[in-house]
Amino acid sequence: MTGTDKRQLLIIGKSEDPRCFKGKKSLPVIYKDNKNSWMTSKILKEWLKDLKKDMRCQNRKILMLVDNCSDRPKNAADRLEHVLEFLPPNTTAIIQPCDQGIIRNLKGHNQSQLVQKKLTETDTTTATVVEIAKKVTLLDAIHMATNAWKKVKTTTIVNCFRKAGFIDTHEEELIPEIKDIENPPSMTEDEFIEYVDYDYNTECYRELTDADNAASTLQDESMRNSDPVDDSDSKDELEESIVPVNFSQANTLLAGLRCAMEEHQSTDFSTYYKMEAKILKMFAQSQDGNVRLPSLLTGYHSDINF
């Protein structure tokens, strides 16, 4: 209820091995798949099993509040060391903290990024908004969602638990979940709220029938025997984008980023310095980088004349 333990997002896609994941050794989220991109009892059980291992390592016991929809496995908590409590039917919209604004705040930050991306690219290219939107891959969406989740404040989470009745209000003001997100340029507050809420009633789960399970099994077998699903309109462009980046290329990109910040009168380079240090450390520890940092730095120092 304090918002201090924000877990990795669980992202559910349709493809087991999306083409945009090719060459990627890690993701900032937990990724699962099924043909409808729905939450299923199988996925929930796997997630709970991993959570149990983590809580055991931390020697913690927690109370999990889960909505009472049909896909939730009622026996999922049998072997869990923490408590799994299902909310009463038809109460999710009233007492589920996530539904009191946490999800909406996350979506607001995510949609704000997407609008900013579209506006920036339309100003710098001749591509239309539709063409730009089509170029957003699943991997792009994952990184935007991860960044959006980081922007959800602990105060927002606490306020949503308070709104759901888990914390005494003491007449404290509840901040609306969208108010702390800056409206994208050229959009009014009402337009942005409508944009955030456009898929509010989209179905994202249901109880799977025997026919669904059989179809899912056949699809899994088919996908294992086929090439990765192409989730881009241009296969050639995507193939170019997954060429491994070596240290020299990464260093050039960093230099370009710093130059852009300098030319646009940025005075705070702390984020850039952190990124630079992370890239250097990453390649220094890499086992398959095309340029090894020790030899690079040795060559650099040997060329310096004092």
**pLDDT values of the chain reduced to their tens digit, one per residue, 306 residues:** 788 899 999 999 999 999 999 888 889 999 999 888 888 888 888 898 898 889 889 888 888 777 776 556 656 555 565 566 777 777 777 888 888 889 999 999 998 888 888 877 777 678 787 888 888 899 999 998 999 999 999 989 988 888 888 877 665 555 556 667 877 777 788 887 887 877 766 665 555 555 665 565 565 556 555 555 444 444 444 444 556 788 888 888 988 998 888 888 888 888 888 888 888 888 777 645 444 444 434 443 444 443
276 found inside a domain: yes
Phi-psi region of 165 (alpha: psi -120 to 50; beta: other; left: phi over 0): left
Number of domains in the chain: 1
275 found inside a domain: yes
85 found inside a domain: no
Q: At what angle do helices 154-163 and 102-124 cross, to 10 degrees?
A: 140
State CA 80 to chain mean position distance: 26
* The model's pTM: 0.70
272 found inside a domain: yes
241 found inside a domain: no
Residues in the chain: 306
For residue 289, what are the domain limits? 247-301
Q: Is 119 exposed, middle or buried (0-12, 13-18, 19+ CB in 10 A)?
A: middle
Identity of residue 306: F
166 found inside a domain: no
Sequence-ordered alpha helix ranges (H) in the chain: 41-57, 92-95, 102-124, 129-134, 138-151, 154-163, 189-196, 210-224, 235-241, 247-263, 270-285, 293-302
265 found inside a domain: yes
291 found inside a domain: yes
